Amino acid sequence: MLNGKHILLGIGGGIAVYRVAELARLLIKRGAEVRCVMTRSACEFVTPMTFEALTGQAVHNDLFDLTGERTIGHIQLARWADAIVIAPATAGLLARLAHGIADDLLSTIMLVAKAPVLLAPAMNHSMWHAEATQRNVETLTARGMQLVGPATGDLACGETGAGRLSEPESIHDALLPLLTTHALKGQQWVINAGPTVEAWDGVRTLSNRATGTLGALLAGQAAALGATVTLIAGPGTPPTHPQVQRIAVESALQMLAACLQAGSDTDVFIGTAAVSDFRFAEPLAGKMKRGDTQSMSIDLIANPDIIAAVAGMDARPVRVIAFAAEAEKHIENGRTKLLAKHVDAVVANDISNMGASCASGWWISRDQEIKLNAGSKHIFAAAIIDQITRLDR
């Protein structure tokens, strides 16, 4: 699969560098042509000689190296690549890439490169979970970069947690779809995300705690794989891949109208949105005055079930995937929803996933139940896309 592909291996400075040597070997064994760019701190852990010997190519590590620039300059190197793998993607390197700081050869190349990028982070687990690192990863994945790992286990620092560089085979497997980039090319995907907000009067609303993170990640990853993606986004849904068409909505009725219109005759519809089950029967204009009122009751009426409406329309998407946030009996309740809403699969997950940085759940299709293991929401999103692409068409 990698035959003749040009892979640029961007090597950051962390103890996991020694395992990248194994990765370089594997990529070459699978037919790729590999060139390495090392940061200065990477060279403190392993000398460039190791990678020169493995790849048979000069290793680049100096932005101001005139000999290097004469043979192949940083701009050409960026353009030469069919895909770029950053391993180990250290916390510092992720931060520099997220902020566009071009202070060495690798970070400069990354500003020029248009090729798909795979980030393989490795660091101490506290550094990985640090808010700054997570934000930087969100920024980079929103730009369309893909993530593999970090794996959980024993770390070089003696602690245990998420922060290990993924196995070379896993990095290789994650790289393949980037090169067939366009695994989803020609497909139209529509995803709804976030909470809905129902107005009671001009000031007050009824909503929920959904953040829209998973829907935005699914949209970004599907777009990175070549799909034409529309994201119907409730308030607060984070930004995603620049090529995703975003339709901002507030209420369930607005979301329903947008979904029916955008979802018609498409390939995949994913309903991640936490749609408010009810809306106010008679929303008020302006601001309701409290006056002396000590208690009150307000009439609510049920909102339509958006995903059931999408699954039931004449020009139904080929595949409709629903979510089920459950507090208990996840699989049983998920399967009930699969049948009731006439969808092709349900991703059942625990209500504790809402607002959390990690997620896990179960993929429930007509004939299968598969546990999707706990990981970051990026990994969860990738596992869901993988299952969708495996559904028989």
Residue with structure tokens 């809403």? Answer: 341
Choose among 14, 12, 34, 38: nearest CA to 23.
34
Q: Which is nearer to ligand C5P, 155 or 306 (CB)?
A: 306
Among 84, 231, 268, 307, binds ligand C5P (CB under 6 A): 307
275 near ligand C5P, rule: CB under 6 A = yes
Among 34, 258, 306, 388, binds ligand C5P (CB under 6 A): 306
Task: Please work out the total of residues on this chain that contact ligand C5P, with binding judged by CB under 6 A.
Answer: 13
Q: Which is nearer to ligand C5P, 268 or 322 (CB)?
A: 322
Provide, rounded to whole angstroms, the least separation between the CB of residue 271 and ligand C5P. 3
Residue type, 218: L
Question: From CA 281, how far away is CA 315, in angstroms rounded?
Answer: 30
303 near ligand C5P, rule: CB under 6 A = yes
For the chain, helix, strand, coil in percent to 5 are 40, 25, 35
Question: From CA 149, how far away is CA 106, in angstroms rounded?
Answer: 21
Among 33, 138, 198, 305, binds ligand C5P (CB under 6 A): 305
Q: Which is nearer to ligand C5P, 120 or 258 (CB)?
A: 258
Among 5, 164, 279, 337, binds ligand C5P (CB under 6 A): 337
Q: Which of residues 308-327 bind ligand C5P (CB under 6 A)?
A: 322-324
Cβ-count burial of 194 within 10 angstroms (0-12 exposed, 13-18 middle, 19+ buried)?
A: buried
335 near ligand C5P, rule: CB under 6 A = no
259 catalytic? Reply is: no
Question: From CA 42, how far away is CA 161, in angstroms rounded?
Answer: 23
Q: Which is nearer to ligand C5P, 127 or 275 (CB)?
A: 275
The answer to whether 304 and 276 are in contact (CB under 8 A) is no
Provide, rounded to whole angstroms, the least separation between the CB of residue 15 and ligand C5P. 42
β-sheet bridge partners, residue 246 = 231
Provide, rounded to whole angstroms, the least separation between the CB of residue 162 and ligand C5P. 28
Query: Active site residue: 36, 43, 157, 259, which one?
Result: 157
Q: Which is nearer to ligand C5P, 43 or 324 (CB)?
A: 324
What character string, x for contact with ligand C5P (CB under 6 A) and - otherwise, covers 239-258? Answer: -------------x------
Burial letters 317-327, b for 16+ CB under 10 A, else e: bebbbbbbbbe
Residues designated catalytic: 157
**Residue numbers at the binding site for ligand C5P (CB under 6 A):** 252, 271, 273, 275, 277, 303, 305-307, 322-324, 337
